[in-house]
Chain A
Amino acid sequence: MSELSELYQQVILDHNKKPRNFRKLETANRHADGFNPLCGDQLTVYMQLEDDRIADVSFEGSGCAISKASASMMTQSVKGKTREEVETLFSEFHRMVTGELDEEATPNNLGRLTIFAGVREFPARVKCASLSWHTLHAALAGEDTTTTENLGPDITSDQVSA
């Protein structure tokens, strides 16, 4: 159960039950819909972007505990950050959950988000954790929708075997 309790930590369960910034943002000037067509998860990220800085951000949608908690904590982490800071965070988060970044050995800006490191032990759940980030990324890029189907397989190179 250790990998499991690593995945479903109390903080994640709490954000699942009481997601933060879980609403439509009336002042939003950017938004994007994210879909995970394999499992039916879908969420919308709203963003009020002011001079390249995320003044406010929120989300709505339905999904599993991992995707909901990830979206909730993402909104907390990116509020007030610049586009560049957010893109760095997105890259670090993505590399952490796919096992490419050792968040303990390598300096990073992830902070509380390292709680999602346990996801990398569950390849089928990587897209759950990253859906909100891809959606945020799409909103920043001015795109309306994104889907996880174009993101390639869930596996990392060390999982390819004979």
Chain B
Amino acid sequence: MIATETSTSGERQAGDTAAWDVARVREDFPVLGQTVNGKPLVYLDNAASSQVPQVVIDRGGRYLREEHSNIHRGVHYLSQRATTAYEGAREKVRRFINARESRECIFVRGCTEGINLVMHGYGRKFVTAGDEIIVSAMEHHANIVPWQMLCEEKGATLRVIPMNDAGELLLDEYEALLNERTKLVAVMHVSNALGTINPIKEIVARAHKQGVPVLVDGAQGAPHLSIDVQDLDADFYIISGHKMFAPTGSGVVYGKAELLERMNPFLGGGDMIRTVTFEKTTYAGLPNKFEAGTPAIASQIGLGAAIDYLNGIDRAAAHAYEHELLAYATEKLSEIEGVRIVGTAREKVGALSFIIEDVHPHDVGTILDQEGIAIRAGHHCAQPVMKRFNVPATARASFAFYNTKEEIDTLASAVQKVIEVFS
């Protein structure tokens, strides 16, 4: 069962791909045209890093050729151009996620840094001994380890929302965990290991009833769903650019202004100050308070260009097409004897984890690579998820709107080949 529902593709049927010209879209992504081990590249590792369209490459190149200089400092021409491009990217992010103000969008290197920013800025300021932080059983290590570090430092406790065998969070158990000691709920929007879409709006609503803020790890959400942070009412929403067609080193912490204002800064240094003396430093306002030092200017401008690209395509059709790919891959792999799908939530997007009986996922990955197919094999930085499903690791194919059904056929026959090698 694959969900076709997202906030923008709801009106579209899963089978309706007439509007999606995948051959045309593939031309936008130069990396897809190459061969690997003598075979056409089949790139199914999008949940790790998605590919970058030519317009994003060109925008980064233009910055380096024509605008490269430091932002927020110089009065000179290039610095002003770079600053305009950088702040323009921030405004693009604001519109993309429907934040109220662009100063609520903090640029970071990616989700890991973003979550650590909130841990230091919010957690270390407001969490004290005896407090509790709630995460879910399906979290990526990036949304577990920072909170464990915080709990250890403060004498706080980490509580975990359990999930069922399909890989769906148990909301009643979640509700039971919320209490007056809860200081934060930190959950992922979409699971990188299982593909599950979590009911974030519901999770946020239940936390807010108790006055608890919610951080959403949007690493896998932003590439596949339409994000409206006001509609979700998320207090923090974290994005990694390299998973949504932008370069590595780009990312965003969205935070409600009133929370960001009350938080401690993250890194100290240049650009995040108002005044500095040896006796006392006062900090800059949002967003600069959280952006010490020279940022990854080219990467963040690239994120802005990736958002332009996404705005230029029919995203509803893209989302529907991605759901169709996932449904097709699920069907194809399920037909193969000895293959088991890990993660069978009703609402899924993007990622398909599977194991082949008696074959370790790394061996699957190596054999698929020889066929030109890129997948991820391992624990997906989610060791508790692997433990929950009692597997050491999984193989994971993850899709983007430039993948094709033919590529999934190639995947299925390569999986057959794996089984033959190990038979």
Contacts and interface: CB of A to CB of B under 8 A. Distances in A.
Do these two chains really belong together in a complex? yes
A17 B358 CA distance: 8
Given A8-B421, A40-B383, A40-B393, A124 B378 contact: no
B359 to A, nearest CB: 7
B242 to A, nearest CB: 19
A3 B393 CA distance: 24
A8 B422 CA distance: 9
B370 A125 contact: no
Interface string B353-397: 000001111110011001000000111000100100000110000
A89 interface: no
Nearest to B383: A40
Contact of B362 (A3, A4, A128): A128
Contacts of A1: 370
A3 B370 contact: yes
Contact of B378 (A13, A38, A66, A68): A38
A55 interface: no
22 contacts: A4-B367, A4-B370, A7-B366, A8-B367, A8-B422, A13-B422, A40-B379, A40-B383, A40-B392, A41-B362, A41-B392, A62-B392, A63-B360, A63-B392, A64-B360, A64-B362, A64-B363, A65-B359, A65-B360, A66-B362, A68-B360, A122-B366
A65 B422 contact: yes
A151 interface: no
Interface string A44-77: 0000000000000000001111101000000000
A100 to B, nearest CB: 22
Interface of B: 358-363, 366-367, 370, 377-379, 383, 386, 392-393, 421-422
Contacts of A62: 392
A27 B366 CA distance: 37
A44 to B, nearest CB: 15
A162 interface: no
A57 to B, nearest CB: 23
B181 to A, nearest CB: 33
Nearest to A42: B392
A7 B359 CA distance: 15
Does more than half of chain B's interface fall in helix, strand or loop, or is it mixed?
A: helix
Nearest to B358: A17
Contacts of B370: 1, 3-4
A131 to B, nearest CB: 12
A125 B422 CA distance: 17
Contacts of A41: 362, 392
Contacts of B361: 64
Interface string A85-102: 000000000000000000
Nearest to A2: B370
Nearest to B418: A8
A122 B383 CA distance: 25
A68 B358 CA distance: 12
A122 to B, nearest CB: 6
A125 B361 CA distance: 12
Nearest to B359: A65
A41 B367 CA distance: 18
A1 B371 CA distance: 9
Contacts of A63: 360, 362, 392
A148 to B, nearest CB: 13
A105 interface: no
A39 interface: yes
A63 B362 CA distance: 9
A66 B363 contact: yes
